[in-house]
Chain A
């Protein structure tokens, strides 16, 4: 019930923050209305990175404690994170076209890093789908998630160098967001959207964790279920059999 209330609060907060960002805040002096996309874009990017931090931490704790609950946390972070990463890229593209004149700006290290981030964690989720045993899946996912987390700063660093060693940036910098003509309203809009998205993120993380735990219980019951099914099949003949043969259990 508490989680449900959290979801309601998140929904309300997002609606309010969206109305504020779309209709209350005046358009930016340089970027016009396109700047409004920044609120959802920055909020998505922040939660993408937070999610993958949670995934790496969950993986680390799993390797340490060997508790599948940490693996469920890591899975929740990866799936929710992939969604927010996709949103961040989409928002960046929708902002980039009117402001930079192009959907994809190769010179922006954040955009290219985020695209690789998406690829890394889509791979992480696929890896999980393709491994059946829960412990093996959790171990593989944990170490792949850790290596991915180690790789991200190197990717970012190298891409910054890549465009920066003998070239200067000529495009509008999203960081200028925080000192335009009417600073306070812009800051309020951004902070409001960040807060609203973070509440929704917390709600989604809890729900995804619960789903992962329930799915794991079904998996476990499935194993026990096969045993009891074998037992029933063994009981049905005239001659009662108390315990199933090992061959029947394994089938």
Chain B
């Protein structure tokens, strides 16, 4: 078996393990979803009841909700392992560190995508947005944004594992780093919803893709050092 194929197999095995743990009654994603929906409701109270204003702010509010919910989702990524010392065992396996990183990132991405798609629907209903014509661009934005978030989130979840004040340090370290992602994703979402009047959608999607690539490489290259500690 070639190196790359083996890495992919290991990564998928780790992601599947996390998915199984999630399905076997942890229900963490469900509670995160409700948290994000409540956040969107509160945004409505803070900016409403003017529906036009809410519709204008919708792309930014959607991504803020995804970011807040995503912080909770990636914060849990390593908890399954740290609770019973399994992370040390995982680090002992003779596999490429990048495979462990990729596996964790894939399970993070899966949670993020579920969150993103449901929240998109919640935003459409709550803020009165018509998604009909914009589906392909919105889904592409969502996927690219979630990949970047999962790439960065997996890295910082690894950094803050077993750290004092973990709950504060994860957002504090991560939020400034994902600022370009938030910016590009909000712009792309707004452009997609408006039917791309300025022809800028492609540029923002390219920026998102470039960000994803850089962060995946940076995360994959450095994640191994975290496991060696």
Contact = CB atoms under 8 A, between A and B. Distances in A.
On whether A and B touch (CB less than 8 Å), the answer reads: yes
Interface of A: 63, 116, 119-120, 123-124, 126-127, 130-131, 135-136, 139-140, 142-144, 146-148, 150-151, 154-155, 157-159, 161-162, 165-166
26 contacts: A116-B176, A116-B179, A120-B177, A127-B159, A130-B164, A139-B226, A139-B229, A140-B159, A140-B229, A143-B225, A144-B159, A146-B218, A146-B222, A147-B218, A147-B222, A150-B215, A151-B180, A154-B210, A157-B207, A158-B184, A158-B207, A159-B180, A161-B204, A162-B187, A165-B203, A166-B198
A131 B219 CA distance: 20
Interface range on chain B (Cβ under 8 Å from partner): 20 to 34
B203 A161 contact: yes
Contacts of A120: 176-177
A143 B180 contact: no
B149 interface: no
Contact of B180 (A119, A148, A155): A155
B140 interface: no
A158 B180 contact: yes
Secondary structure dominating the interface of A:
helix
A136 to B, nearest CB: 5
B165 interface: yes
Given A123-B169, A123-B172, A158-B207, A148 B225 contact: no
A166 B200 contact: yes
A127 B173 contact: yes
Nearest to A113: B179
Contacts of A119: 172, 175-176
